Amino acid sequence: MRAVISMIKNKVVFLFLAIVCGFANAEIDIVITEGMSFARPIAVVPFQYEGLAEQPPHDMSTIIAADLRRSGRFNPMALSDLPEQPTRYEDVNLDKWKDEGIEAVVVGKIEQKTPGQFTVTYQLIDVFKPKQTLIDGELVSTNDYVLLDKIGSTNDKNFRFYSHQVADNIYEALTGQKGAFATRVAYVTVDRSLPQPYQLYMADSDGYNPIRIYSSTEAIMSPTWSPDGKSLAYVSFENGRSEIYLQQIYTGQRKMIAAFPGINSAPEFSPDGSKLALTLSKDGNAELYVLDLDTRKYRRLTRTGVNVIDTEPSFSPDGQHLVFTSDRGGRPQIYRISIHGGRAERITFEGEYNASANYTPDGKSIILVNRTNGVYHIAKQDVESGIMQVLTDTMLDESPSLAPNGSMVIYATIHNGRQVLAAVSTDGRFKARLPAKRGEVKAPAWSPFLVK
């Protein structure tokens, strides 16, 4: 229940305790390893609380500050350094914050009038905008410095997730890009000391509230979210070989999707959720297929023939193309094919191995695993120019998954002899490790936006 944030590059180590209650629990810590020197200085002032209980179920302002810090874009001020602790925008003394070099301040208030129900008001203030302005030579008050002024409500159960939504709104007001804090990440844990070593989990984007989706004595692979955020498709070896399952997260309803002879692998939903791209080797070698989830009909997409591997299909944001991995040219490289099939076009040429490609949500780049001189890293390739940028400097990086706003990539890597999750911003500046309390963690899959 401790969040540890250490900024190794800046040689500054912050330790703070996130005060959490009840079932809220993080199985995964977050250690920021690089990139805070680019982060904008802001402040999240502790929210005032008026209510029936002694305190709200979670420390909302701490959750918001941690989210903003974890985006790599912001460096929230330590609580002990705050020059004042106002709770309403009218009371903010802009000069005090300017003197501290702070660009923006978040203030807020939580009220509880009914048991379990909370009203939350919050404002975001731009420190560099004046409270008064000259109009026709007269000094007039203005609210231009209030970038965000919101009121909302939540309850005991959703309090923590609601805090992430507040952070999303603040992030969007400051960056113009939708926030992705109120999202979840699915991942597979392997703890060989357990009777069921393989477990599929989902947790909030900050690692809290881990919920077990499925556990097994046999391996689990390749979880992927349906675009509505309500189900996960994944590969399970529960019958001694790879088969694809589709599981409703909230009802637990589970069905087998593909169990053909050979491998059943690499499921990936189309953007509209109506289809599932997957890899089957029922006809001899690993080829791509598209399954229509309504009609249950399979369409074979590639026909490369003997001994070629085609796998890891992933749809373009417009659903018209797929990128996939193929070793038809000798080594694995990324190819692009129309959803109608036809000729595939090779799109990666740098390094000896490129695999596991996914489009960024804007369709302008692909994120992939690149091997150059035997070293595996997460890389980004510009679709238009073909220029590739290596994003990570960790070891044996694999399974990259993008945040739905395209800002961050979560992936699996090896650190200190253990497989752990790590994150890197898509500009490569911000890096963090997400060590688990025990066992190994892999196959992360970032959810779509869960709040409309």
Partner 1 sequence: MSIKGLGKSLTIFLASLLMFACASNTEDQGPTETVVDQNDTEVVEDTGPSQEELERQANEAARQVRTIYFDFDDSTVKAKFQDLLRAHAWYLSRNPGVQVTIEGHCDERGTPEYNLALGERRGNSVKDILISYGVNSSQIRTVSYGEEKPANPAHNEEAWEENRRAILDYEG
Positions that interact with partner 1 (CB under 8 A)? 192, 219, 221-222, 235, 237, 240-242, 262-263, 265-266, 279, 281, 285-286, 307, 309, 311-312, 325, 327, 332, 353, 355-356, 369, 371, 376, 396, 398-399, 414, 417-419, 442-443
- Report the nearest approach of partner 1 to the CB of residue 147 (Å): 42
> CA-to-CA distance for 88 and 170, rounded, in angstroms?
16
- Report the nearest approach of partner 1 to the CB of residue 85 (Å): 47
The dihedral built from the CA positions of residue 391, 392, 397 and 399, taken in this order, carries a sign that is: negative
- Report the nearest approach of partner 1 to the CB of residue 87 (Å): 49
Query: Between 154 and 326, whose beta carbon lies closer to partner 1?
Result: 326
- Report the nearest approach of partner 1 to the CB of residue 97 (Å): 47
Phi, psi for 163 (deg, rounded to 5)? -60, -40
Query: Between 10 and 285, whose beta carbon lies closer to partner 1?
Result: 285
The residue among 385, 379, 380 whose CA lies nearest residue 365 is 380
- Report the nearest approach of partner 1 to the CB of residue 36 (Å): 28
User: In what order do the strands lie in the sheet containing 220-225?
Assistant: 220-225, 231-236, 243-248, 254-258
Query: Between 183 and 281, whose beta carbon lies closer to partner 1?
Result: 281
Query: Between 148 and 200, whose beta carbon lies closer to partner 1?
Result: 200
- Report the nearest approach of partner 1 to the CB of residue 369 (Å): 6
Q: Which amino acid is at 27?
A: E
The residue among 370, 380, 328, 378 whose CA lies nearest residue 350 is 370
Phi, psi for 136 (deg, rounded to 5)? 50, 40
Query: Between 176 and 417, whose beta carbon lies closer to partner 1?
Result: 417
User: What is the distance, to the nearest Å, from the Cα of residue 158 to the centroid of all Cα atoms in its chain?
Assistant: 19
Query: Between 163 and 314, whose beta carbon lies closer to partner 1?
Result: 314
- Report the nearest approach of partner 1 to the CB of residue 309 (Å): 4
Query: Between 127 and 369, whose beta carbon lies closer to partner 1?
Result: 369
- Report the nearest approach of partner 1 to the CB of residue 417 (Å): 6
Q: How many CA atoms lie within 13 A of 446 on its CB side?
A: 28
- Report the nearest approach of partner 1 to the CB of residue 104 (Å): 40
Query: Between 152 and 305, whose beta carbon lies closer to partner 1?
Result: 305
Query: Between 57 and 313, whose beta carbon lies closer to partner 1?
Result: 313
The residue among 229, 181, 186 whose CA lies nearest residue 60 is 181
Residue corresponding to tokens 């350094």: 81
- Report the nearest approach of partner 1 to the CB of residue 143 (Å): 52
The dihedral built from the CA positions of residue 391, 279, 360 and 75, taken in this order, carries a sign that is: negative
Query: Between 165 and 358, whose beta carbon lies closer to partner 1?
Result: 358
